[in-house]
Each structure stands twice: as structure tokens, then as C-alpha cells.
Amino acid sequence: MDDRKLIVISGPSGCGKDTVLRKIRELDDSIAANISYTTRSPRPGETDGVNYHFVSKEQFLENIENGMMLEYNQYAGNYYGTSRESINRFLEDGTTVVLVIDVNGGRNVKKYYPNALLLFLMPPSIGELRRRLIGRGGVDEESIKARLRIAEEEILYAQNYDLVIVNRDVEECARECLEAISAWEKAEPDNK
């Protein structure tokens, strides 16, 4: 099982991770996106089984109990987590798969899969991040403040990632991610 095919994308909420991932997959349709589980409610336009598996807190806790989660975390009052089985399926198939998860998740994935590539997307500025968070709707002022506070902590953790990419322009950022993924897959694991 080649864990170099496991790609983590982290970055503050609102920095454009999902949009960049969509662009990455438009540019290279061989790349898969893992679907996380969450207890938060869907935002306008989000669909169960596409953006997330939206589950109740009870269901999520049961999944943890059953050992189903490779990693999970609480973020702004909700649970988010990655299914172990889903990741194993991608890796067994030899499919390059991207996980859009927070920095705690990234740290845990690297623990289990040391050759996973950790990419951190940085917003051009905190002001721009705030504008994007407000712009996408579905979150109140308190929740925006909480996300900005978490963003500051996440940015401090970025130094532990393999590569930091500033998301000024979605396509440019997606192309940089693809270049990094391609270089990583070609390199010998010992070089990392």
C-alpha cells in the first residue's frame, strides 16, 4: 500500500480548500476526494454523501466506538472525522486521494501514514479570510469569530506541513498543488 498517494489539504476555514480541490479534480480526474463524516448541519447547496456524510452526534460517537474513524476532531462545536475503511479502499486501489481536514487531522494522518503529503493552503490575508467566511453564508457572527480564532492557531501549525501554498487565485493554487503531488509521487520515500 503506497501511502505517498494520500494527500492532506488543510488551511483555515474559508481559505478555499474545497474550491481548490474541485479545481484540482477538474484538472486531473484521476484524483479522488475523500468524504468526511460530520455532525454539523449542511450549508446552503451542500448535499449528504457529496460534501460530507452528515450524521447525528449519536451516530458519530457510535462510529468512534466501533473503531471506524481513522481520525476525528471537534471543531467549532461539531465532530468531523475520516473513515478508516474509505482511505484503505483508495490506497488498495492505488488511487491518489485528497483529504480536506484540519491540522489535528493532518497530524494524525501523518502518524499513521508517514509518507502522506501535507499541503497547507494559506489565505492571502486575515481580512480576505473574513470576507470569504461572510460571503459563503450559513454562519453567524459568533461562528465567524470562532473560525477566525481557530484560523490563527492553524496558521501557526502550518510550519509542520510539507508545503504551504497561498491561495490568491484558485486555478494557480490548484496547479501548484498538482505539481507538488506529482513531484511527491515520483520521489523516493527516503527523501522526505
Name the residues that contact ligand 5GP, by CB under 6 A.
13, 17, 36, 40, 71, 73, 75, 80-82, 100-102, 104-105
CB nearer ligand 5GP, residue 13 or residue 63 = 13
Minimum distance, C-beta of residue 190 to ligand 5GP, in the bound complex (Å): 28
Nearer to ligand 5GP, 16 or 81 (CB): 81
**Which one, 157 or 178, has the nearer CB to ligand 5GP?**
157
Q: Which residue is nearest to ligand 5GP (CB)?
A: 105
User: 76: closest CA among 185, 24, 179, 153?
Assistant: 153
- Nearest approach, Cβ of 128 to ligand 5GP (angstroms)? 16
Closer to ligand 5GP at the Cβ: 100 or 129? 100
**Smallest gap, in angstroms, from Cβ of residue 189 to ligand 5GP?**
24
Report residue 16: phi and psi, to 5°: 100, 20
User: What are the φ/ψ torsions at residue 76 (nearest 5 degrees)?
Assistant: 45, 45
Complete edge-to-edge strand list for the sheet that includes strand 163-166: 32-33, 97-100, 6-10, 117-122, 163-166
| Nearer of residues 31 and 101 to ligand 5GP, judged by Cβ | 101
Dihedral Cα 167, 170, 176, 178, nearest 10 deg: 130
**Cα 169 → chain centroid:** 18
Give the nearest distance from C-beta 188 to ligand 5GP in angstroms: 29
C-alpha cell at 177: 498543488
Q: How far is the CB of 183 from ligand 5GP (least distance, A)?
A: 23
The x, y and z cell numbers of residue 156, run together, are 501557526
Residue 139, CA distances (Å) to 43, 94, 102, 128, 133 in order: 8, 37, 18, 16, 8
- Copy the grid coordinates of residue 124: 492571502
CB 57 to ligand 5GP: min, Å: 15
Query: Which of 19/104 has CB closer to ligand 5GP?
Result: 104
